[in-house]
Amino acid sequence: MNVSTSKKMFLEQLELRITRIRKLFLEQLESRITRFREMSSMRIPASQAACNLFPYYPVISWNSGCMQIFQHGLYGLCVDFSSLEFADNLAEASRFFKLLFKPALSQNSSTRMDKIKITIVEDDGPQEEKISLSNKDAEVLVITKYQYRVLFLVLLSAFSLYFAFDNPAPLYDLLQEYFDDSGPFQFAYFLNLLYSAVAIPNIILPPFVGPILDKYGMGKSFPLCTLGMVLSQTAVALGIEFKNQIIALIGRLFFAVSYQFGLMCCITLVTKWNRNRSVVGMSLLQAACRLGSVVTNLASVVIAKEVGVSGAFWVSVLLLVASFLPSLLMVRYERHRIQYMDKDNEMQMEQNRVESVWRAVIRKARSFSRLFWLTTFNLSAIYALVFGFNNIAASLIGKKSSHEPKEDISLIMSIPYCILIVLIPLIGLVMNRTGKLMWFTFVGFIIEIISFALLAFTDVLIEVPLVTHGIASALLMSSILPAVARSVDPQDTGTAFGIAFAAQNIAMTLIPVVVSALFSMHESYYEVCIFFMTLMCICIAVAGVTIWIDAKTGFRINAI
């Protein structure tokens, strides 16, 4: 639902409830203007802090005895003790709600938000009216009050999660020297097992993660998942500390489970708590994940040289602890949101509690529309492409830039990641205002074809296709996750992303195998680039079909 529609619906619901107050206001407007002009100052007792809404009528504002009249459309009139504030040209529904009900939300955190007190001050004392809001409106108020705090908790958790996830890769040489062939496995095999321990559960678990989270709720699940990440990463750090590969692998296996649940919690919370800004929230979430990977690549080696190899893993444990402690606040935030939830959502939550996980997955998967399955196909292809290319990037850059030293090759490889971190939030802001998510995906696939064509058919500097690849990846990754979220009902977000991530992990397993086979057969990356270009052409066709179906069904994905 776009911003203008949300605002219109909300005003229509309130219109009937404030008719008497507006009538009273208009009757007294002229006399009050005259009285205000005669007064050099005005004092309002603290007990009379209130909130009024008079759309499309003049609204009075005074400050230090100076009275002004404004008539520029919609204003929220907020009386705050001794001064009056007004909200001008509110462009977003979330900010509109926040400003409109600012006194009601800020005076007392324990005040019920389904009752908004309106006070009009007259000569013979204040007269009060009460507006009874629906549960849906009250839920919106709760979301508006806490959404940025929830977003901060999610971004902190995502950053810490990916910092810990990518810990082993930059420490390859230092870990090899540290273990010195001690343990039951050869070091190269042990390092591969650290990542395989994460990859294997990620193929099996995702479809069941969403229903499990829906069953127990985000308020309990988010802190527990974060605590699971702390404990499992602690086991990994202990294994590294005592050079015990078995303990490290067991910890990594449990970390994989916590990782999958934690990531799904982050995505679901962003969707539920940033309804009108979910595109920006998703973009910031992905930027936080990529930033965690980049920071661990840069900082882990420095930390390991300063305090030892195991110290780098203990730093990741401390980061996870720092994200766990604030996550306990989610219990309170979710309790407030659920208190004012719609009746339909309450019934859905009750069904989730009594229904088995397997039945919930089957039932919801059968109810998903074609839009969901088409966007899931593109999601799988995008992540398989991005990470499949990263797997061959070092070798490809080495062939294209054989004269470059290894340090410069590592720097060149970081170009797409840097572009991703910078562009994803900016693209999210643009998409939040314009909509057209699948059109951004469509353009991203075209730019991606251009980047692989430059690699395959030209001898341009390697930095050029890497830049275009970074831009295309930013467009694709910032648009596809919100598109998947919009293709299903909000209460089905967890299950939808679980199925989508299961398909993504299968694709990320198969695509590198195909790439390796092509390179082994031809000993050239020319055929690999042709394969990626062919895959992108298929994705363009799928994106076009998605745009067409979305237009026929009321612009569910491409709406603002």
How many CB atoms are closer than 10 A to CB 111?
13
CATH class of domain segment(s) 134-367: mainly alpha
Place of tokens 């690699």: 455
State the Cα torsion 423-429-435-439 to the nearest 10°. Answer: -10
State residue 132 phi and psi, 5-degree precision: -95, 115
Say if residue 417's pLDDT is above 80: yes
CA gap 277, 341 in Å, rounded: 19
Mean pLDDT, range 92-99, rounded to an integer = 38
According to DSSP, residue 114 is labeled T
Confidence of residue 528 (pLDDT cuts 50, 70, 90): confident
Average pLDDT, rounded, for the chain: 74
pLDDT at 139: 61
**Integer Rg of the chain from CA:** 27
In what helix (H) or strand (E) does residue 262 lie, and over which residues does it extend?
helix 245-273
Mean pLDDT, range 503-514, rounded to an integer = 83
In what helix (H) or strand (E) does residue 68 lie, and over which residues does it extend?
strand 66-70
Which residue, among 494, 141, 481, has the nearest Cα to 349 in the 3D structure? Answer: 494
CA gap 237, 346 in Å, rounded: 42
CA gap 558, 260 in Å, rounded: 28
Confidence of residue 210 (pLDDT cuts 50, 70, 90): confident
Return the percent helix, strand and coil in the chain, to nearest 5: 75, 10, 15
Of 116-130, 140-154, 349-363, the one with minimum mean pLDDT is: 116-130
Residue at 181: amino acid letter = D
Which residue, among 526, 378, 393, has the nearest Cα to 469 in the 3D structure? Answer: 393
Confidence of residue 121 (pLDDT cuts 50, 70, 90): very low
134-367 and 368-559: identical CATH topology: yes
Exposure b/e, 66-95, CB count within 10 A at least 16 = b: ebeeeeeebbbbbbbeeebeebeebeebbb
Does pTM surpass 0.75? no
Q: What is the CATH superfamily name and number for domain 368-559?
A: MFS general substrate transporter like domains (1.20.1250.20)
Please state whether 488 falls in left (phi above 0), alpha (psi between -120 and 50) or beta: beta
Higher-confidence residue of 353 and 455: namely 455
pLDDT at 394: 64
Confidence of residue 119 (pLDDT cuts 50, 70, 90): very low
Higher-confidence residue of 37 and 277: namely 277
CA gap 541, 547 in Å, rounded: 10
Residue at 500: amino acid letter = A
According to DSSP, residue 559 is labeled -
Confidence of residue 10 (pLDDT cuts 50, 70, 90): low
Distances in Å between the Cα of 94 and the Cα atoms of 10, 145, 435, 559 are 11, 9, 17, 17
pLDDT at 505: 83
CA gap 35, 343 in Å, rounded: 47
Name the token pair of 220: 């309990």
pLDDT in tens, 424-437: 989 998 998 888 89
DSSP secondary structure of 119-184:
EEEETTEEEEEEEE--HHHHHHHHHHHHHHHHHHHHHHHHHHHHHHHTSTGGGHHHHHHHHTT-SS
Q: Domain residue spans in the chain?
A: 134-367, 368-559
CA gap 24, 491 in Å, rounded: 42
**Strand ranges of the sheet holding 75-80, from the earlier edge strand across to the other edge:** 50-53, 75-80, 83-88
How many CB atoms are closer than 10 A to CB 376?
23
- How many alpha carbons fall within 13 Å on the CB side of residue 466? 22
Say if residue 506's pLDDT is above 50: yes
pLDDT in tens, 41-89: 343 332 233 333 333 333 333 333 332 333 323 333 333 323 333 333 3
Higher-confidence residue of 456 and 55: namely 456
